[in-house]
Amino acid sequence: MKQRGTLPFQISSAATTTSYKVLVISMDINRINAVCGWMRNLSNQPNVLNTPVSTADVTNIREGLLLIAKDIEREQFVLSNQLMMIKNNLFREVPINWNIIHIYINPFAFGQGIEILDILLAQNFNRYDDWWQLIHPRIARVSKKLFLDGSYANAACDAYIEINDRVKKLFQAIRPGEKVPDGDAAMKTVFSTNTPLIEFCDRSTDSGANTQKGFMEMLAGAMSALRNPKAHANIQIGKDDAMRRLIFASMLMYKIDEAVKYSKITETSSTQ
């Protein structure tokens, strides 16, 4: 029988012993999509119940399901067990003569397997939506729509512009009438290690001084490296990279919240 090739990922003994993922969001979505698509294509073949399946199909689908079951075992124990059982019932062997065996799909088990893979894909989609609960409201306000529209570079850029705008407004509120610094200069002025306008914590201890210095440098670095990613040549920002940048921007924005509270600064509507 003609073989159908291989799935678009490598199957190896090392892969089957990979350490389990802690979060479902870490599962290999490409693998799930590949196996689910493989199973759908196979089950949609004309006269599929009476058409023998190649050994390549059998091996790749079974091993793909095994890897998926191991990926989700810690967080999705029940679904993992179901996949393991379904994997062993996907196909039925029919002896033709003493040295030939034809393999056919078990439509009921195939349907169960595809349903579980669809559930995992839906859960992953929801996880991508739920991650917005980690994002600071001010960042979500300026970046969420852009991100959901696929404008990842603009979403990331606007997050750091929002940080810059907030810090500049804080400077204006504390020192009205003075020239307002911008970008990394604003961060180094407002959160200075020597004469800060806003403190993150008690700087009288080594730990406090290091905290002030560390967040000042992170904010200043973010302004230099991340505020305008579109201006940097040869840099393409995809979905995952934009997510990481938005999460980092949110962490910085939440630290500014803490610093404003610690320093007893009152933000008016003009600074928010």
pLDDT tens track for 134-192? 899 999 999 999 998 888 989 999 999 999 999 999 999 999 999 999 999 999 999 99
* Out of 34-43, 125-134, 227-236, 263-272, least confident range: 227-236
Q: Residue type at 180?
A: V
202: left (phi over 0), alpha (psi -120 to 50) or beta: beta
C-alpha closest to that of 58 among 111, 106, 103: 103
Alpha helices in 73-205 (DSSP H): 77-89, 107-130, 137-148, 152-174, 183-190
* Coil, helix or strand at residue 96: strand
Q: How far is it, in rounded angstroms, from Cα 236 to Cα 160? A: 17
- Backbone φ and ψ for 81, nearest 5 degrees, come out as -65, -40
pLDDT of amino acid 45: 81
C-alpha closest to that of 65 among 114, 135, 121: 114
